[in-house]
């Protein structure tokens, strides 16, 4: 395990960067939309475009990953990610911002699913859950560190600086991946399965229900998160300092949830654990409108939301890595496709709900969806025995 720590650290850094980019959008939406004189609700399209192109590419790239290997895919993804982040910073108008965010989604589609596939190929079943939780925690750390720093930079200088930094860090990571990341070693085994395409994968009920659960969790979790900064500032009328502190607490909660998921996944069956965490996530969504009259209670509900959301994301990822060893790249690419399809539709549809009604209505809808996820894992899925 100790000999593989540098590899884990490199995978962690890639996901940390993706996490910074994913979460930093929410607090930057007010500044970006004000700069280009567009409605705040339209700012959600930055997430929708990112997610849409992620989805469009990820379904096609799964079999390609099984053929050419994870390392090449991750390297290519980081190079595209770097160029797209630079284009976002240099964009002269909002339509160019959307194009640049679309390209960022393409870069993420090359890299992110192949991180999970690399973990499935390179690490044995005994430590795979812990490695998955460790790497998934990088997303949370992106929320803990990246978002407060991004918010501070946006207040002191400009939101553009955030994307300049993301571009530079992505380019550095691309170099490190090229130089130090080994081949995962499962490509030749996986290639024959990739030739069958997606048909065989989609014929497995376990896979379909897992994809549906991934879609609904991310529709709710990341879709609603897109508008958290807007809700805290515009509807709860909290200052930027208090909002930034709540984002920091949310990140700590998310990181704690991912850490706990790594511990609990070895003691509780993944199916039951996901169901339990989904019910906690649903309860947190319901508490948001109930406790909105008090900033401290609101912060507590957000922390509970982030803890449950981070934990359930990690456990579902580990669950899906066990579905098929021979077509792991294809399965995980599709799972990540459904993840970002949920995020794209979530940010778009919840934007309409918030514009038509309010944030509280959107939170109740998200609670209902995560309740359905708990039902799926309790009654439609079974704990996997890894295929070899």
CATH number at residue 351: 1.20.1250.20
* 138 part of a folded domain: yes
Mean pLDDT over the full length of the chain: 86
pLDDT band at 321 (very low <50, low <70, confident <90, very high): confident
Q: What are 314's two structure tokens?
A: 């990690």
Q: Cβ-count burial of 88 within 10 angstroms (0-12 exposed, 13-18 middle, 19+ buried)?
A: buried
* 42 part of a folded domain: yes
Decide which of 313 and 336 is more confident. Answer: 313
Q: Which residues contact 147 (CB under 8 A, 6 or more apart)?
A: 20, 23, 24, 26, 27, 247, 248, 251
* 319 part of a folded domain: yes
pLDDT value of position 1: 61
pLDDT value of position 324: 66
pLDDT band at 185 (very low <50, low <70, confident <90, very high): low
* 216 part of a folded domain: yes
* Helices 295-321 & 94-122 angle (0-180, nearest 10): 50
* 325 part of a folded domain: yes
What's the structural domain count of the chain?
1
Q: Cβ-count burial of 147 within 10 angstroms (0-12 exposed, 13-18 middle, 19+ buried)?
A: buried
* 388 part of a folded domain: no
User: Could you read off the pLDDT of 115-162 as tens digits, one per residue?
Assistant: 988 988 888 877 887 788 788 888 778 877 777 777 777 778 788 999
Contact 329, 66 (CB under 8 A): yes
Distance CA(218)–CA(240), nearest Å, equals: 26
pLDDT value of position 58: 79
Q: Cβ-count burial of 295 within 10 angstroms (0-12 exposed, 13-18 middle, 19+ buried)?
A: middle
pLDDT value of position 186: 54
pLDDT value of position 192: 47
Q: Please check the confidence at residue 237 and state whether its pLDDT lies above 90.
A: no
pLDDT value of position 388: 41
Q: Please check the confidence at residue 4 and state whether its pLDDT lies above 60.
A: yes
Domain that holds residue 289: 2-181+189-379
* 256 part of a folded domain: yes
């Amino acid at each position: 395990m100790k000999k593989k720590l540098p590899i884990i650290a490199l995978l962690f850094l890639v996901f940390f960067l993706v996490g910074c980019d994913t979460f930093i959008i929410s607090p930057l939406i007010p500044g970006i939309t004000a700069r280009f004189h567009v409605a705040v609700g339209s700012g959600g399209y930055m997430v929708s475009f990112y997610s849409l192109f992620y989805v469009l590419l990820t379904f096609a790239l799964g079999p390609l990953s099984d053929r050419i290997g994870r390392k090449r895919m991750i390297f290519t993804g980081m190079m595209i990610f770097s160029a797209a982040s630079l284009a976002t910073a240099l964009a002269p108008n909002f339509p160019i911002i959307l194009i640049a965010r679309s390209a960022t989604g393409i870069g993420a589609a090359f890299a992110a699913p192949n991180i999970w596939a690399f973990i499935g190929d390179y690490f044995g079943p005994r430590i795979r859950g812990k490695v998955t939780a460790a790497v998934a925690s990088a997303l949370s750390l992106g929320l803990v560190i990246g978002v407060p720093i991004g918010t501070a930079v946006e207040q002191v200088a400009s939101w553009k600086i955030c994307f300049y930094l993301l571009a530079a860090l992505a380019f550095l990571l691309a170099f490190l991946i090229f130089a130090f990341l080994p081949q995962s070693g499962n490509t030749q085994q996986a290639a024959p399965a990739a030739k069958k395409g997606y048909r065989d994968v989609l014929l497995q009920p376990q896979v379909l229900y897992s994809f549906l659960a991934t879609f609904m969790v991310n529709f709710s979790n990341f879709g609603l998160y897109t508008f958290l900064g807007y809700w805290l500032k515009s509807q709860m009328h909290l200052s930027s300092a208090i909002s930034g502190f709540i984002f920091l607490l949310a990140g700590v909660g998310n990181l704690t949830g991912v850490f706990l998921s790594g511990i609990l996944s070895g003691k509780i069956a993944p199916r039951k654990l996901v169901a339990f965490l989904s019910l906690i996530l649903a309860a947190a969504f319901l508490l948001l409108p109930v406790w909105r009259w008090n900033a401290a209670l609101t912060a507590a509900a957000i922390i509970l939301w982030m803890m449950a959301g981070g934990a359930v994301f990690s456990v579902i990822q580990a669950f899906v890595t066990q579905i098929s060893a021979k077509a792991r790249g294809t399965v995980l690419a599709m799972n990540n496709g459904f993840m970002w399809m949920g995020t794209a539709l979530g940010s778009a549809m919840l934007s309409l709900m918030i514009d038509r009604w309010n944030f509280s209505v959107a939170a109740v809808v998200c609670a209902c969806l995560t309740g359905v996820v708990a039902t799926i894992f309790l009654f439609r899925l079974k704990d996997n025995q890894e295929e070899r």
